[in-house]
Amino acid sequence: MAARTPPTPSAPGPGRPRLKSRRRRGDTAREEILDASAELFTRHGYTGTSTRMIAEAVGIRQASMYHYFATKDEILVALLDTTVAAPLERARELLDDDRPPLDRLLDLARFDVTQLAESRWNLGALYLLPEIGDEPFAEFRTARAELADIYETLARAALGDPADTRALLPFRLVESAIMMRSDEERGELGRHTVTGLVDTIVGAIRMLLEHRPPS
């Protein structure tokens, strides 16, 4: 008689069942936690948001949340990464592109400002948190600095003058979308939306670099 194969042990579950039915965006509990955290951080601030508040917004027990994120800092790191990972990948690709520098710069600016304008929550507003200077966020700061450096590299190549300080401005003009989103959310942008101003921001960068101020 053939030996019986022992049953394969089941993998441990992701924690206790949720307290309420699914209420957040996301295909997984981790994505739901990030969605809830993004809303709470941008509305109540980082220090004003507790892990209990996040768990309640998702509809899970607080202990279950720690299965996905050990600390609140880990949640913020993950959220900040979503704002810089895609544009940085695009920026690295554009460095090796053979088009004129200005075309590549404008391509990057449009990609970047569009994702800042269309993301579900205005996560760029979290860049101003004092906690961002702490060690857990060092990788994010490094990634954002690399992105800014690529903007400057492309701008200097487009200007043809390494000493031209206009090269510092395209990255900052793109990130102006963050403050404009805050204005829009408070009803202070009039009839405009940041999404509707993408062409305006990209066009302003073009004019800035193509204009030759009098010597």
pTM score of the predicted model: 0.85
Q: Would you say the C-alpha torsion 97, 102, 104, 105 has a positive or negative sign?
A: positive
pLDDT band of residue 212 (cuts 50, 70, 90) is confident
Concatenating the DSSP letter of every residue in 16-28 gives SPPSSS--SS-SS
Q: How far apart are the first and last CA of the chain?
A: 96
Q: How far apart are CA 36 and CA 38, in angstroms?
A: 5
Helix (H) or strand (E) holding 174: helix 169-185
| For residue 52, pLDDT beyond 60 | yes
pLDDT score of 7 more than 60: no
Positive or negative: CA dihedral 158, 159, 160, 161: negative
Residues 82-92, mean pLDDT to the nearest whole number: 97
Is there a shared CATH topology between the 17-70 domain and the 77-210 domain? no
Q: Which fold has domain 77-210?
A: Tetracycline Repressor; domain 2 (1.10.357)
Identify which has the larger pLDDT, 157 or 4: 157
Where exactly are the structural domains of the chain?
17-70, 77-210
Q: What is the pLDDT of residue 163?
A: 94
Ramachandran bin of 9, using left for φ above 0, alpha for ψ from -120 to 50, beta for the remaining angles: beta
pLDDT score of 22 more than 90: no
CA distances from 198 to 110, 140, 195 (A): 7, 25, 6
Chain mean pLDDT for the chain: 90
- Domain 17-70 in CATH 1.10.10.60: yes
Q: What is the mean pLDDT of residues 68-73?
A: 96
**Half-sphere exposure (Cβ direction) of 132: Cα atoms closer than 13 Å:** 18
What is the predicted pLDDT for the residue at 94?
Answer: 97
- Write out the two tokens for 43: 């509305």
pLDDT over threshold 70, residue 124: yes
